[in-house]
Structure 1
Amino acid sequence: MAQQANLASRPAAGRPESRSWTGVLRTSLRKEKWADLAIGSILPVLVLLGWQLAGDYGLISTFFLPTPRAIAESFGRLAASGELAEHLGVSLGRAAAGFALGGGLGLLCGIVTGTMRRAEHLLDPSFQLLRMIPHLAVAPLFILWFGFGELSKVLIIAKGAFFPLYVHTFLGIRSVDKKLVEVTEVLRFSRSRQIWRLIVPSALPNILLGLRLSLAVSWLGLVVAELIGSQSGIGFLINFARQSSATDIIFVGVILFAVVGKLVDSFVRQLERRLLGWRDSFDG
């Protein structure tokens, strides 16, 4: 009887007690995320506050450095007219097309050269040579060859997106433990199964790092492409504002580049946490 009473008093799995502990854990994690966000917002808020006060009291020239309020007002006008959404949509489309072309080829070439030594000897020296050529050096050639249309802009972005994914995919594959590869050979894995079941998953941390860098460079390549020759996009908006000395609109474009780039980077970081949750790494 005493044992039955003790068993009855214990919270069973699936009872409200166990669910309440899960809820407490989720609430604690949510509070921790909000606390991290609040800490990260302290410095930007202080900078904006000091910037605004300096402009209000005439400590800085608002022509060369407009106040955050003036920049926000310009942002509101452009957003209300629909002009901002149009330019941003064009820029996002170009960046996505360039990344898909360059990043996809970079991933494929990284896998090929990483898994085949002959392909490495054949392709890698040329890729490393091309990697050293700056965007600004090839942009005039692309415009001369392909004109001021979308193709030249997409190719400029693709050039930047190719190399980070290529290099990190190659390094990730060459960092795979050789003993694991020998195990797959003992188990008589086919070459394709060895690549997709062992080599690529083992190289995934490096590949995701290359993905982050490739997206960032794609966004930077977009700036180069749109500033050199474009009739639409955020880069065109910045260039047009420069010609008309509208410094507040230049800041709107610069802030948009920064915010969108940060959002894309945060998305990839969340993807890393999901795909690499098995790693027991140092968090600082």
Structure 2
Amino acid sequence: MTFRSETSAVPSHVLNDGNAIPTLGFGVFQIADAEAFDAVTTALETGYRSIDTAAIYGNEVEVGRAIREFGLPREEVYLTTKLWNSEQGYDSTLRAFDASMKRLGMDYLDLYLIHWPVARAGRFVDTFRAFQELKSQGRIRSIGVSNFNRDHLERVIAETGETPVVNQIELHPHLAQAELRAFHAEHGIATEAWSPLGQGAGLKDPVVVDIAGETGRTPAQVIIRWHLQLGNVVIPKSVTPSRIRENFDVFSFELTADQMQRIDGLDQGNRIGPDPAVFTAGLDV
């Protein structure tokens, strides 16, 4: 199959602070620093304009270099990074942000996320307050969270007076997170899906394979399209150029209501990653 790049811009989702995030971005989780430059460059060549990294991924240096050397105006690339668990706390967050920005080689960040709540440490509210300070200084345009459950979100909103713009969560056909997505919608929080393809498991599901046959698309394209039609922001990742391009070619077809419902029916509540309620990696708690 030949994959064609889209020439039109990726649609954007307007966040609750008035800024906009592309609905399709490129994730670099588990991409080594040595591979990140080429992968991000290929993504930018393909047409991606949103790149999602994190301090713990260990690839901020090459992600930043790829963006700078590609040569687009800075405002045309939406850049996200995340604060790791061991750096939570007000003052440590400010230091960690400076370190990330130095590695990225950027003057400002489009979106900064608390990577995990690690609620037992009791620091995520102070961490978010540090995010608010950085935003007030103009160093971050938007502030959000990742892997937060409803109770974590409610506490941040109640204690800081500000609603995160995004909650980036594990979300794929086998973990559709309908209740949390409904809470997001009620509070104007964008749902961003990590591991959107279920680390490949969803690509082999017979329902997805059947729909791929019906649409003349690949299983990956079908799942990404499902995310987009649900209203999710989605950040698939790959280091293979053909798949980077394949994952981008999702704006010239639509799934029918029946096809959407069939994929919705695959939800089993099965996580691939850790449970946010108990995950404490990086902290001595």
Instruction: Establish whether TM, by shorter chain, passes 0.5.
Output: no
Q: TM-score, normalised by structure 1?
A: 0.21
> Normalized per residue, which structure has more strand?
2
Q: TM-score, normalised by structure 2?
A: 0.21
- Return the index of the structure with the highest Cα Rg: 1
